[in-house]
Structure 1
Amino acid sequence: MTTLAQTKDLFRNAQAVCFDVDSTVIREEGIDELARFCGVGDAVAEMTRRAMGGSETFRTALSERLSIIRCSREQVNKLITNHPPHLTHGIKELVDRLHQRGVKVFLISGGFRCIVEHVAAQLGIPAHHVYANRLKFYFNGEYTGFDESQLTAESGGKGRVVALLKKTYGLQRVVMVGDGATDMEACPPADAFISFEGNVVRHQVKENCLWYVTSFTELLRELEKI
């Protein structure tokens, strides 16, 4: 059984750190922001609440919400331009410090790649370190669906991404940081999980993890202990 001390040691000596995006790296939930921008915020929020009950698979819940939003490519681009995601305080400094130490940083999200790549660019994270869902559009820009072949489009997908990263890069010490149950479930194969409670408190996650933080400054301070 891993202890809190061992979890902190794994973080200080990690070869890679994987971050969830919505309500972790950024303050918002991307799909809810997109729904509000497209004028269907209330309907999608209600579906999100039902999905949290666990009665549906992630893919089904995502498909149902997107079928209501039906965003065009133009709407997505306008959302990013007019209402860009807000980075959580301290995340830029933390990612910079991890990069300085030679630690690989990945973003693993159940959200949309077109938005997550924008976040990654702000943080200096290369696009090939982004794992997220891809929206699909017709040539005229109308919504046609999403790429169901992506690992992040299915339940347990974040864990599968972590396993892929460990195999691809030969990683032995990988830490997952996030606010939700899907992030906690990625450990294992992640070697440690840190619950981030700085934007939203998920009591079920907080109560079942060894280490939770409310600020990325706490993780920066932990790195300085070496």
Structure 2
Amino acid sequence: MMATLSQTKELFRRAEAVCFDVDSTVIKEEGIDELAKFCGVGDAVTEMTRKAMGGSMTFKTALTERLSIIRCSREQVNKLITDHPPQLTPGIRELVDREYAGFDESQPTAESGGKGKVISMLKEQNGFKTVVMIGDGATDLEACPPASAFIGFGGNVVRQQVKERSSWYVTSFGELLKELE
């Protein structure tokens, strides 16, 4: 059963950990779409991303298909990052300025259900009782449960399914900061 708006806000205020999606949440861009545009196959990959984020195919299937279309080299990735560095979503720096535990690249977040697995591991390994997930896509929404609550984020891209299924849907990190004051 999904938490109510007031329950979600309370869980957010007292969360022991908050997990953020990165693409279209922490950063403005959808990284794989930017890479595809840079490599000249943007339209095909953007359509596949829309299907994946809308929940019509598994994340892993969509990721595999998108990468097979892009077929880029490490040099292309490095050039993209150098020429067009990702842009942080306004307000994220202030929101995470309080505490930041880090990012572990060896975690299973590159597969369907991976975010939920990471949240379960966080709870198990650290004894966290309250973990909140914030994100813009279907794979973020799937992480609740095991996340105690999910906050939908539409500051860069509004995904209707996520908006409709979120008990708390925000369009700026300022709304989250305000809740913590």
Normalised by the size of structure 2, how large is the TM-score?
0.91
Q: Which runs of 5+ in 1 are unaligned?
A: 100-104, 106-124, 133-149
Map of 1:22 onto structure 2: 23
Off by >3 Å, runs of 4+ in structure 1: 49-56
Q: Which amino acid aligns with 2:159?
A: R
CA distance in 2, matches of 1:208, 1:50: 17
2:59 and 2:139 in contact (8 A); partners too: no
Q: Which amino acid aligns with 1:155?
A: S
Question: CA offsets, 1:104-123, max 9 Å, x none?
Answer: x5xxxxxxxxxxxxxxxxxx
Aligned positions of 1:41-190 closer than 5 A = 41-51=42-52, 54-97=55-98, 99=99, 105=100, 126=102, 129-131=103-105, 151-190=108-147
CA distance in 2, matches of 1:181, 1:54: 5
> Which structure: greater strand fraction?
1
Q: 1:177 to 1:54 in 2, by over 3 A?
A: closer
Q: Which runs of 5+ in 2 are unaligned?
A: none
Q: Name the Cα RMSD after superposition.
A: 1.8
- The alignment covers a number of residue pairs equal to 180
Question: CA offsets, 1:14-59, max 9 Å, x none?
Answer: 1100000111011110000000111111221233344456553322
CA distance in 2, matches of 1:79, 1:203: 30
Q: 1:218 to 1:158 in 2, by over 3 A?
A: same
Q: Which amino acid aligns with 1:68?
A: I
CA distance in 2, matches of 1:53, 1:198: 16
Q: Which amino acid aligns with 1:47?
A: M
